[in-house]
């Protein structure tokens, strides 16, 4: 049997006007009358979006309003997997086509609301000035009243039809430029402030903190750190590190050992509660060595409580003259005896 040929397509090619190109695509555009979606070239030819993201954007744009477009819902509807769908939605969200926000309904339930815009760049342009608000009938300009009343007055004033063509082209007095003066009376509304509806591009993330380093990388610290990192795969096979990665992570482990951290504690911290699977063990170990670095152990003087501050007590002294007790830091005479001595010295 011969291979069936699409004769309709061949016949349509012969009906195209003008010469056909020698290479490249040839379009046969048939006008849609129902069940179609308008897709702009800014989306179809977006240089920053992958083909998967563009395809899901067209799919979402063609769905009716209110259709669920979450990752689970799209994975149940289309053959792509959840990871591929999630990556495509993140691309659309980064370029402003998609926005997902959690909102609370009146009944207290929290839902995720998805907003899709087919032209996010148009939302960033300044909005045009708002049209002036319409005035109530009592405040309408005189021109508006004249235009509304003139067609009704003319038939009543001349019941018999006049064949003269002059009254027909007489809308000039109504549209004369004199009436704009009353229109200037109502103040023109100012343009509303520009509101950004699309979230700004993702801000650059701050640089990650560097890997901790010890004050001095001694041969002993380097040996223990290398052995600990190389032995991680015996406790967790997913933490198999290359020789180059082990050399780069040795200063971080040495900083932990320098702060009197036991090797078993370091191994437990690096391998416990790890995600399944660990796709990048080097980055994961480096992150935990940097973020979970314990503080240095306090010294003996840091744990000693400060001495209690006591108010000095002035001791009792016995007066050398009258044998009376009084408070003074050093022995001597009391206040009365000192005053008597001063009086005798003054009298002499």
CA distance 92 to 101: 14
81 DSSP 8-state letter: -
What is the spatial distance between Cα 73 and Cα 78, in angstroms, rounded to a whole number?
9
Mean pLDDT value across residues 299-310:
74
Residue in the block written with tokens 């109502």: 186
Closest CA to 218 of 184, 257, 182: 257
Residue predicted with more confidence, 174 or 333: 333
pTM for the model: 0.35
Q: What pLDDT was estimated at residue 262?
A: 93
Q: How far apart are CA 134 and CA 121, in angstroms?
A: 31
The whole-chain average pLDDT of the chain stands at 77
Judged against a pLDDT cut of 90, whether residue 230 lies above it is answered with: yes
Nearest 10 degrees: Cα torsion 339, 343, 345, 347: 180
pLDDT at 139: 44
pLDDT greater than 80 at residue 235: yes
CB 212 within 8 A of CB 134: no
Predicted pLDDT of residue 207: 85
């Amino acid at each position: 049997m011969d291979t069936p040929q699409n004769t309709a397509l061949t016949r349509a090619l012969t009906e195209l006007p003008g010469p056909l190109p020698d290479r490249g695509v040839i379009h046969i555009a048939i006008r849609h009358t129902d069940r179609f979606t308008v897709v702009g070239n800014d989306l179809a030819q977006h240089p920053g979006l992958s083909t998967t993201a563009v395809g899901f954007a067209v799919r979402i744009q063609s769905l009716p309003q209110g259709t669920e477009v979450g990752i689970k819902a799209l994975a149940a509807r289309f053959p792509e997997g959840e990871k591929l769908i999630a990556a495509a939605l993140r691309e659309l969200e980064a370029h402003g086509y998609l926005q997902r926000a959690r909102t609370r309904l009146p009944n207290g339930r929290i839902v995720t609301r998805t907003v899709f815009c087919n032209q996010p760049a148009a939302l960033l342009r300044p909005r045009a000035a708002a049209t002036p608000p319409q005035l109530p009938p009592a405040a309408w300009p005189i021109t508006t009243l004249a235009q509304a009343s003139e067609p009704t007055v003319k038939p009543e004033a001349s019941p018999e039809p006049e064949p003269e063509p002059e009254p027909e082209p007489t809308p000039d007095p109504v549209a004369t430029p004199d009436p704009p003066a009353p229109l200037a009376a109502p103040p023109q509304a100012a343009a509303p402030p520009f509101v950004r509806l699309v979230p700004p591009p993702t801000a650059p993330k701050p640089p990650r903190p560097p890997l901790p380093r010890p004050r001095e990388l001694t041969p002993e610290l380097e040996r223990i750190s290398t052995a600990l990192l190389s032995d991680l795969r015996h406790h967790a096979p997913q933490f198999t590190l290359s020789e180059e990665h082990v050399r780069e992570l040795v200063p971080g482990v040495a900083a932990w050992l320098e702060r009197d951290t036991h090797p078993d504690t370091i191994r437990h911290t690096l391998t416990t509660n790890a995600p399944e699977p660990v796709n990048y063990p080097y980055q994961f170990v480096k992150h935990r060595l940097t973020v979970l670095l314990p503080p240095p152990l306090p010294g003996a003087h840091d744990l000693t409580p400060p001495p209690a501050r006591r108010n000095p007590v002035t001791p009792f002294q016995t007066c050398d003259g009258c044998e009376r007790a009084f408070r003074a830091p050093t022995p001597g005479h009391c206040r009365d005896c000192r005053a008597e001595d001063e009086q005798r010295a003054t009298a002499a």
